[in-house]
Structure 1
Amino acid sequence: MFRSLGVFNYRVWFLGALISNVGAWMQSTAQDWVVLTELTDHDATAVGITMACQFGPPLVLVGVTGWVADRFDRRTLLFLTQGSLGILSVAIGVLLLTDVLTLPLMLVLATLFGVANAFDAPARQAFVSDIVGRAHTSNAVALNSASFNMARLIGPAVGSVLLIVVGSGWVFIVNAATFAAMLAALAAMRTGELEPRVRPRRGSGRLADGARYVWGRPDLVVTFTMAFLMGAFGMNFPIFASTMAVEFGRDADGYGLLSSALAIGSLAGALLAARRDRARLRVVMLASGGFGVVSIVSAAMPAYLGYALVCVAIGFCTVTMLTTANGFVQTTTDPALRGRVLALYLAVIMGSTPIGAPLVGAIADAWGPRSAIVVGGAAGLVAAAIGAVWLIWSGRLHRAERARFRLTIDETRPITVAMPTIDPGPADPAPGARA
């Protein structure tokens, strides 16, 4: 389960990411609560629009960000993006402390966060392979998810307490300080132990190559489709948790507890994914279906504690789906195209939010948060149905020879890949060197 931690650089990365992720979850809790209760009068649509501003840039900039992640040194790029995100956190904190932050200004800053994250996310995801090598990538991705969700257990709870004790502005200031942990981890890495990267020669790394590669891989198309449905309509947890907390008459502490309940299940899902030897598409399908079922069940919960308990199952299914899909994309993609393919994948996950979040927020305002949750659950069921149809159509699903009524999935069946013509060029002369 923890084999990637045997690599020194990954141990340093894991610790830095854990501290930084705690701050990120603190800020996420504060941001949604500020928009819902301080900048508006419990306007869930405004929360959805803020999410759209924050997650829209990865969709708009997908071609450029993927190309940058493949072309330039990812460690240097992460120094720049992580530093920029820290500065933006300080800016929001100061504006809140001086009582001059308005909703339009928050939307502008959320958009700038989105731009920085658009460049940070594909570089950060692809950098995992540079740290541990392809053999351990699936395990390292799962442990990254575990780190993210351990922070999710701590961050919302701490953020909720700080919201009450010191106010929202200081939550953003504290988050800015946690970025120093990631910058320190990047600085402490042994650059000579990073994996050499294969990059296209100058002039051959076309932005469209990643999209053409994905289009020639039916399994990736199905994975991206399921991720889009889940990202657009299912994973709007800030809207679901904040509006359900209000529905049950709870304050910021109640909202933080719901986020922590999601994190408990998410952590369990991430650790279970780390135990698997490789990422499989059937797990993505089953987790999507499970998410749909438990989401619809949660919408019917009459009491706050009952809803919080079902949130544990929601978190488990969500992270199982996301971690497995991420590992599948990383481990089955051509190394020379990994940055661009991951940029497309992350654009689908994060960029689908501007499409779904405002709609889900409007549904919550018009018909209540329970109706919005049902819409998200239905999206998970549709995603699972798409995966099941592809497994049948591709010939991977068939009846077992010995058990008459048992169905099995042939994971070894080859997939026809239409790859673009790429000259991979030489490997990096020095893994830690600047491109």
Structure 2
Amino acid sequence: MKGENPMRVLPVSLGRSFNGLWFGTGAANLGDGMALFVLPLLAIAVDASAGGVAAVTAALTLAWPLFGLHAGWIVDRVDRRTLLSAVNAARGLVLGGVTAAFLADVLSLPLILVAAVLLGVAETLVDTALTSTIPLVVDPVGRSRANARIEATINVANQLAGPPLAGLLAGATLALATGASAALYVLAVGGVLVMTVRRPAAASADPPAAGRRRGELVAGFRFLWRQRVVRTLTLFTAAMNVVWAVAVSLLVVYAVDPGPLGLTAAQYGLLLTGMAVGGLIASVLVEPLRRWIGTTRLMIADAVGTVLFVAPVALDAGIWVVAAGAVVAGAGSSIWRILAGTIRQNLSPPELLGRLYSASRMISWGVIPASAALGGIVAELWGLRTAFVAATVLAVLVLAAFVPFALRTDLEAAVRGPADDEAPVVA
């Protein structure tokens, strides 16, 4: 943008309501980071196979294709503060139950899978409410900064602090990690209650007729499919998530002893911390970087990062190469989420924010359960490296397809807004 200092950071306060949402997001995501780290370790502790460990990842994301549209409809019709408070409290109860089952020595893979499904359903509601609440408490000019702050917080709590903290606590007992995660979900409720959020004027609390309800459920999907920029970014996100699903579900098997890298649980936590460091740095610098090198180049960087996430394992590289790839991938992933999220918010009517987000997430995350399960099957039949080789080939193909789209699309205009403009595509 002409006349702007590309490296200028704007630390402007975004208001009390956003700060409450920010705090609640931080506490809940620290709980998320610990829970997501420890659930696969619990599966290993109950002697699950590589396929069983991958099934935990699949179960965590199963709710998006099955419940995603309903989550968006619910978020657009109920008070966001009440919803976020209730769901975070429910997540605390689920992790408390897992902790009790482990201490009583009755925990099994089926129980872990049930807990993962419930946490996945909760995530559809919380994530949809979070992204659709930001535009209700932050003006358009501040949304990119708000998204960057939320993304930085998620990286610090969910990935930077959560895994090593969970690994440290798990060194004493896995129950300590799950119990701390449960307590953090409850703490998040306090931050959420600070918010004052007005519902969009178009929302209605009256129960709709059956036909009207079906129309409302798919309204976000219809808008997404008509909005070519959001639609195309959603499809590319889905393709990259196939790669990420294989990597995330199987990396723990490759990295943690008796896997090839032979890491301890604490060392694996540090590996994930390296990925979070990349994401944190990127989320802090995304705004000055966007002004300096542009939205298009930044989003292409994420597609490159996806390749570098899986290629080192496919090539049987050492721990330092694997860690370097994870750092770059973490940086690219943060950039993508911030910029794609801002584009979606700017191109969506306020009354459709929840449903548009859930429709987008249903597509982009709907591929994860099947992809994680397929990756587990490939690993069982032909070995871990074969699964990562296949993921690397797909990542390269996605990169080759995304670059031409990004170069002919004015993604910068979509990030700047305004909300009711569709970013032009130049042939």
Determine whether 1:214 maps to 2:220: no
* CA distance in structure 2 between the partners assigned to 1:363 and 1:351 by the alignment: 20
RMSD: 2.7
In 2, are the aligned partners of 1:223 and 1:281 still within 8 Å (CA)?
no
What is residue 9 of structure 1 aligned with on the other side?
Answer: 17
* CA distance in structure 1 between the partners assigned to 2:347 and 2:295 by the alignment: 11
SS at 1:188's partner residue?
Answer: coil
Corresponding letter in the other structure for 1:381: V
- Deviation for aligned residue 1:252: 0.9
* CA distance in structure 2 between the partners assigned to 1:372 and 1:179 by the alignment: 34
- Deviation for aligned residue 1:68: 1.0
* CA distance in structure 2 between the partners assigned to 1:169 and 1:38 by the alignment: 12
* CA distance in structure 2 between the partners assigned to 1:223 and 1:258 by the alignment: 29
1:156 to 156, 163, 169: 163
- Deviation for aligned residue 1:259: 1.0
- Deviation for aligned residue 1:280: 4.1
SS at 1:221's partner residue?
Answer: helix
- Deviation for aligned residue 1:283: 3.4
Corresponding letter in the other structure for 2:328: A
Q: Which has the higher helix share?
A: 2
What is residue 273 of structure 1 aligned with on the other side?
Answer: 286
The percentage of counterpart residues that share the same residue type is 23
Question: What are the within-5 Å matches in structure 2 for residues 234-253 of structure 1?
Answer: 234-235=244-245, 236-245=247-256, 246-253=259-266
Structure 1 stretch displaced more, 169-178 or 3-12: 3-12
What is residue 38 of structure 2 aligned with on the other side?
Answer: 30
In 1, are the aligned partners of 2:300 and 2:406 still within 8 Å (CA)?
no
Determine whether 1:344 maps to 2:359: yes
What is residue 70 of structure 2 aligned with on the other side?
Answer: 64
* CA distance in structure 1 between the partners assigned to 2:199 and 2:140 by the alignment: 11
Figure out how many residues of one structure are paired with residues of the other and give that number.
Answer: 398
- Deviation for aligned residue 1:197: 2.1
What is residue 202 of structure 2 aligned with on the other side?
Answer: 199
In 2, are the aligned partners of 1:133 and 1:195 still within 8 Å (CA)?
no
Residues 314, 206 of structure 1: alpha-carbon distance in 2 compared, 3 angstrom cutoff:
same
Which whole-Å deviations, capped at 9, do the CAs of 1:220-278 have from their partners, x for residues lacking one?
Answer: 12111111112222244242144223211122122212111111111112222244679
In 1, are the aligned partners of 2:309 and 2:328 still within 8 Å (CA)?
yes
Which whole-Å deviations, capped at 9, do the CAs of 1:299-332 have from their partners, x for residues lacking one?
Answer: 4353223322332112112222222222221222
Residues 414, 321 of structure 1: alpha-carbon distance in 2 compared, 3 angstrom cutoff:
closer
Structure 1 stretch displaced more, 333-342 or 200-209: 200-209
Question: What are the within-5 Å matches in structure 2 for residues 9-158 of structure 1?
Answer: 9-35=17-43, 37-41=44-48, 43-151=49-157, 152-158=159-165
Residues 182, 349 of structure 1: alpha-carbon distance in 2 compared, 3 angstrom cutoff:
farther
SS at 1:302's partner residue?
Answer: coil
Unaligned 5+ residue runs, structure 2?
1-8, 415-420
Corresponding letter in the other structure for 1:262: M
Residues 325, 415 of structure 1: alpha-carbon distance in 2 compared, 3 angstrom cutoff:
closer
Which whole-Å deviations, capped at 9, do the CAs of 1:46-103 have from their partners, x for residues lacking one?
Answer: 1221111221112111221111111111111111111111110101111011110111
* CA distance in structure 1 between the partners assigned to 2:18 and 2:412 by the alignment: 33
Residues 258, 299 of structure 1: alpha-carbon distance in 2 compared, 3 angstrom cutoff:
farther
Unaligned 5+ residue runs, structure 1?
398-408, 418-435
- Deviation for aligned residue 1:410: 7.9
* CA distance in structure 2 between the partners assigned to 1:374 and 1:138 by the alignment: 36
What is residue 386 of structure 2 aligned with on the other side?
Answer: 371
In 1, are the aligned partners of 2:308 and 2:325 still within 8 Å (CA)?
no
* CA distance in structure 2 between the partners assigned to 1:264 and 1:368 by the alignment: 30
